[in-house]
Structure formats: structure tokens, C-alpha cells
């Protein structure tokens, strides 16, 4: 029998890669987290994690179970949302970055809509930097996007490794300034990329800027240069340059959800669904 509590603990540990961090997120002691994982491993008769003093990783059986765990938890969340409260009514003003809107977010919003058909969703798609401005101005209830550097607000959803992308077969001449295709300011990705290049002493030239990720993808597909996107959200037929190992290594970026100070019941419900969902599960290629 797969105990839902054990499944929740397992999925949290798998995401956090740490028993301690998982316990902190779940409000459990480390010994309780260990007990849940031990019981789950006994229940399925398989080892789920490889553990040593420095690292924690999933076994192949753990990877397989994680797929089922995410589906189970999402189904349980939808069932709880539908039957634990009266029908919700009202409006939620949600802001999302374009890369998430093009990828995994629509499935989560469809699940919310199916459970709460009387709630109106007002969705704003824009650069994360702009979304911060809107939520600070009180015109958004929730936002989902990248965490700004040095800004510790928001609840982490997942981490994405930023990656160089270009038209298939592209070779970058690293002796020349890097031909960059990036979104306009304010942009979290743009700031991170330019800071990384500046700190590493790399030269670059801005060959194209766009108000959207779609515009950057189109320019990169046309062979104008290289653009950047989180690996688990990359799309548009782009791939890393042939000599990507010669390019500077980009950092990871946190994807978060940030809420206004006061939320309506519908907004609180959507916030909980976002926090329970795993937006990494759907990848756009």
C-alpha cells in the first residue's frame, strides 16, 4: 500500500535532494523523513535513494516511482480542492513569465479551472522583472517566474540550469565577442547572463533584443546568434551550439511563486495548487 504521506515525503526529498531541507519544507524532523522513506522502500520492495555523507540521488527505481508520485499527488490535490471546500467564486490575477506560459503552466491552470469553474482567471504574461513591478503595485495577486538576484522573497518551485541555445549546427567563434540574443530590460535572465560574462572577462555584442522569448527564439532559429533559456524549459527547435563546452558556464536560476500580501480565497487556492505542483514535469522541446 502506497501511503500518501510517504509519497509526499518521497517527492519532497527527491526535489530537495536533502532529508534536512525536505523536513524543513514539510515541518517534519529528519528522523520522521527517514522513517517515511524507509517504510516506502519496504512497501515497494526497492531501494529509492543512493545516500552517502555528501550526496543524495535517486536510484533508477526511485526515478520511476517519482513519475507516479507526482501524478498521485496532483490527483490528490485536485480531489482535496474539489471536495474540501464549497465552490469558489471570484477572480485571480496571475502573472507568469513567457517561458512558463509556453511550457508546463497551462496544464496546471487547466486543472484549477476544471475544479473551480466559477473562478475567473486574469493572466498577464511578461518578463519576470515587469511582473515584480506589477505585484508590487498591487495589480497582480500571484506571479510565477524567476527569482531576482539578491531578492529572497517567494516560495521556490524548482531550479533551472540556464543554457546556451542556437540553431542546430551552430559553431560560435569564441575569439570574437559572443553574439547575444536576449530579451529587453527588465529581465532576470538578461541580468544574470551579462553579469556572468562580465565577471568572467568575456566580450559580447548584442545582435538582437526582443520583448519576448518567442522573439529571441525566432532570431536564434534564423542564425543571428545565441540565446539563453532554462534547460528544462528550452524549446523552439533550438539546441546547444556545437562547441558549447567552450562557452562560459551559466548558473542555475530559481523559479518561484510570489504572492501579494492579501489574497482572496480563490487566489490562496491557486497558490496552494502551484506550490504542490511540479512545473518541471512538462518539458517543451
Q: Do 95 and 137 reside in the same domain of the chain? A: yes
Cα atoms found within 13 Å of the Cα of residue 132, Cβ hemisphere only: 17
Q: Tell me, what's the pLDDT at 35?
A: 93
Q: Do 127 and 203 reside in the same domain of the chain? A: no
Task: Determine, yes or no, domain membership for 284.
Answer: no
Q: Do 241 and 264 reside in the same domain of the chain? A: no
Of 252, 254, 280, residue with least CA distance to 193: 252
Query: What confidence category does residue 234 fall into, taking pLDDT thresholds of 50, 70 and 90?
Result: low
Q: Do 24 and 41 reside in the same domain of the chain? A: yes
Q: Do 262 and 155 reside in the same domain of the chain? A: yes
Residue 56 near residue 17 (C-beta atoms within 8 A)? yes
Q: pLDDT tens digits for 104-126?
A: 678 888 888 888 888 999 999 88
Q: Do 185 and 245 reside in the same domain of the chain? A: yes
Task: Determine, yes or no, domain membership for 282.
Answer: no
87 membership: H or E segment, kind and range: none
Count of domains in the chain? 3
Q: Do 167 and 234 reside in the same domain of the chain? A: yes
Q: Do 65 and 114 reside in the same domain of the chain? A: no
Q: What is the CATH number of the domain that holds 11?
A: 1.10.10.10
Residue 282 confidence (pLDDT) above 60: no
Q: Do 73 and 94 reside in the same domain of the chain? A: no
202 compared with 100, residue with greater pLDDT = 202
Q: What is the CATH number of the domain that holds 121?
A: 3.40.190.10
Regarding pTM above 0.95, the answer is: no
Q: What percent of the chain has pLDDT over 90?
A: 46
Q: Which domain holds residue 126?
A: 90-159+254-276
Q: pLDDT tens digits for 13-43?
A: 998 888 988 888 888 898 999 999 999 999 9
Task: Determine, yes or no, domain membership for 58.
Answer: yes
Q: Tell me, what's the pLDDT at 84?
A: 67
Q: Do 9 and 138 reside in the same domain of the chain? A: no
Q: Which residues pair with 258 in a beta bridge?
A: 143
SS3 at position 144: strand
Q: Which residues pair with 125 in a beta bridge?
A: 96
Task: Determine, yes or no, domain membership for 283.
Answer: no
* Grid coordinates given for 138: 498591487
Task: Determine, yes or no, domain membership for 281.
Answer: no
Amino acid at each position: 500500500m502506497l501511503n500518501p504521506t510517504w509519497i509526499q515525503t518521497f517527492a519532497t526529498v527527491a526535489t530537495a535532494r536533502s532529508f534536512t531541507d525536505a523536513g524543513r519544507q514539510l515541518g517534519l524532523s529528519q528522523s520522521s523523513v527517514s522513517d517515511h522513506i524507509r517504510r516506502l522502500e519496504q512497501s515497494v520492495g526497492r531501494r529509492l535513494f543512493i545516500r552517502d555523507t555528501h550526496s543524495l540521488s535517486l536510484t533508477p527505481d526511485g526515478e520511476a516511482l517519482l513519475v507516479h508520485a507526482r501524478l498521485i499527488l496532483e490527483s490528490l490535490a485536485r480531489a482535496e480542492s474539489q471536495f474540501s471546500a464549497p465552490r469558489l467564486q471570484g477572480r485571480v490575477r496571475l502573472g507568469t513569465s513567457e517561458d512558463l506560459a509556453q511550457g508546463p503552466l497551462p496544464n496546471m491552470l487547466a486543472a484549477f479551472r476544471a475544479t473551480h469553474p466559477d473562478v475567473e482567471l486574469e493572466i498577464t504574461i511578461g518578463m519576470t522583472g515587469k511582473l515584480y513591478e506589477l505585484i508590487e503595485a498591487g495589480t497582480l495577486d500571484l506571479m510565477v517566474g524567476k527569482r531576482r538576484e539578491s531578492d529572497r522573497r517567494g516560495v521556490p518551485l524548482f531550479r533551472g540550469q540556464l543554457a546556451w541555445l542556437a540553431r542546430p549546427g551552430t559553431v560560435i567563434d569564441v575569439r570574437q565577442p559572443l553574439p547575444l540574443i536576449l530579451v529587453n530590460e527588465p529581465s532576470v535572465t538578461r541580468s544574470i547572463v551579462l553579469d556572468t560574462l562580465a565577471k568572467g572577462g568575456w566580450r559580447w555584442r548584442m545582435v538582437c533584443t526582443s520583448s519576448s522569448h518567442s522573439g529571441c527564439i525566432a532570431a536564434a532559429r534564423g542564425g543571428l546568434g545565441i540565446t539563453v533559456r532554462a534547460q528544462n524549459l528550452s524549446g523552439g527547435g533550438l539546441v546547444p551550439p556545437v562547441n558549447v563546452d567552450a562557452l562560459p558556464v551559466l548558473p542555475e536560476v530559481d523559479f518561484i511563486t510570489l504572492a501579494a500580501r492579501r489574497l482572496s480565497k480563490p487566489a490562496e487556492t491557486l497558490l496552494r495548487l502551484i506550490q504542490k505542483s511540479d512545473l518541471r514535469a512538462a518539458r517543451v522541446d
